[in-house]
Amino acid sequence: MAAVRRSLRGLGGSDAALVAAAATAAVAALALFGERRFGAPGLALPLVVGAALVLFRRPVAAVAVAVALPVLAEGESFGVGPMTALYTDLIRGLTPLDGLVLFALASVAFDVVRTGRGLRLPAALGLPLGLTALALAAGVVVTQASGASTTDIFVNGRIVAYLIALPFAIVNLDLSATTVTRLLHGAVALAIAKAVIGLLALGAGISIEIEAGTSLTYYEPTANWLILVALLGVLGALLTGARPPLWMLLGTPLMVACLVLSYRRSFWIAAIVGLLLLLLLALATPRGRRVVVPAVALVAVAIWVLGTLDFQAQTPLVKRVESLNPAQLETNAQDRYRIDERVNVVAEIRDHPIAGLGLVEGWSAAARPLPVEHVDGREYVHFALLWWWLKLGLLGAAAYVAIAAAFVTLAWRTFRRDASATLRCFGLASLCSVAGLLVIETTATFLGVDARFSVLYAAQLGMLAVAAGIARPPDAAAARPGRDEPRESLPLSG
């Protein structure tokens, strides 16, 4: 950039005018192309290109934007049209979100080459990322054998590929403890902002309806996951004696309200599991032992108060809570569908136990008739482990387990090691939230299926690997003063 500026200063008047005219023509051409391709929003294409040129030399910012934008922009269920532009089909199933992720990965790769840093791979990520890569490669081979096109293979396999590439890219960023702390604070701020947006959308009645006249905050999992992790992080800070900033405390009721009014039973269950584990782990700290008894007492009082209330009307919230009763599974058509679907998927896996079906083909077993049929329902499974096994074979099932184990391991290390309060709370919140996720992914599949969720989860896994390296014991910190560097890394080059 400095050389370019020197060259521009050396131009004469006529040459400078030619350069300015060429730049103006390029901007006009970009705006015209954008308007014809994307309509009125496409007029901003020159600004997007300019921002991209700036971001490309700032890999941390590029990755942050690639993770934050899909969190901010909801899909069709939210009811705000411009947000869905990030997920529109651009070229053969690829979306702007895919371009954003690939741009961030290219920015990190360019920065590594430019600075001459050797590639790093934390030991805890070696097995899960390697298994996932093998499973994806095997899935590609099986899918090709079934006659699927290269485009279909790429489109259906790209989300799993992001689970490999994003954590690897993040651990190869040049991140200090201060930068990690700022990024985590930014994530909490984003969660609070999402809670505010969701509550405003609920008040305006523009999001998806679960019943006639009843709207919710967020139906899709990404926002609910971020809010859950942030909420557990703030509560964990209070239980372990840390002092979260005032703005986090003020935002906590908003996050609670947003999560409750999402009416997503799965994330209610995840929140309950996470809170129980949070209280259990709080007992391991002196501060937690002092606080946990009053906290449990408050929960007990809240349950008692709710039990004494006489609900005259069956509000959507009450109905949703009552639907958690296992006795209602047989009478709920959607819950019945999940049970019958699982029987059929298990039968399909028995027929293809090693290789699976591949990335494109859906299950077709009919061991039990389904009460309802959904569009593209046979390409999905309401059980994450079974989906990975069905699509990517036995290696896929092993990869799913390995990713979960690495997530838990890195979260535990970050929580238990002597680090800053922010890192400890991040590890604790991640540990408790992933416990809830593993429970609810026995009734739904997000990882590897939902692009937005998978990008956020992969980024969280990468940040845990970085934080676990920074959050080292006091003796290690004393032995290695200076700039924070991730530990337990396997050098891949250099």
105-158 residue pLDDT tens: 999 999 999 998 889 998 899 999 999 999 999 999 999 998 889 889 999 999
d(CA 378, CA 393): 17
pLDDT in tens, 175-211: 999 999 999 999 999 999 999 999 988 887 777 776 6
Decide if pLDDT at 383 tops 50: yes
Query: What is the model's pLDDT at position 355?
Result: 93
Token pair of 124 as six digits = 């805890």
Token pair of 120 as six digits = 């790093």
d(CA 481, CA 315): 58
d(CA 417, CA 415): 6
pLDDT in tens, 64-120: 999 999 999 888 776 666 677 788 887 888 898 999 999 999 999 999 999 988 899
CA 183 to chain centre: 15
Domain extents in the chain = 121-331+367-491
CA distances for 129 relative to 135, 181, 407, 410, 443, angstroms:
10, 25, 12, 14, 25
Which residue, among 225, 174, 230, has the nearest Cα to 458 in the 3D structure? 225
Length of the chain: 494
Query: What is the model's pLDDT at position 35?
Result: 53
Question: Residue 311 — pLDDT band, cuts 50, 70, 90?
Answer: very low
Phi-psi region of 358 (alpha: psi -120 to 50; beta: other; left: phi over 0): left
d(CA 362, CA 375): 12
Kind and range of the H or E element at 490?
strand 489-491
Decide if pLDDT at 317 tops 60: no
Question: Letter for the amino acid at 105?
Answer: L
Q: What is the largest CA-CA distance in the chain?
A: 84
Average pLDDT, the chain: 81
Look-up: residue for tokens 């059929």? 344
d(CA 25, CA 33): 12
Q: Which residues have a Cβ under 8 Å from the Cβ of 377 and sit 6 or more positions away? A: 341
Q: Which residues have a Cβ under 8 Å from the Cβ of 386 and sit 6 or more positions away? A: 342, 345, 346, 349
Which residue, among 437, 418, 480, 465, has the nearest Cα to 166 in the 3D structure? 465
Kind and range of the H or E element at 448?
none
d(CA 234, CA 183): 15
Which residue, among 320, 313, 318, has the nearest Cα to 263 in the 3D structure? 320
The arithmetic mean of pLDDT across residues 219-231, rounded, is 94
Q: Which residues have a Cβ under 8 Å from the Cβ of 130 and sit 6 or more positions away? A: none
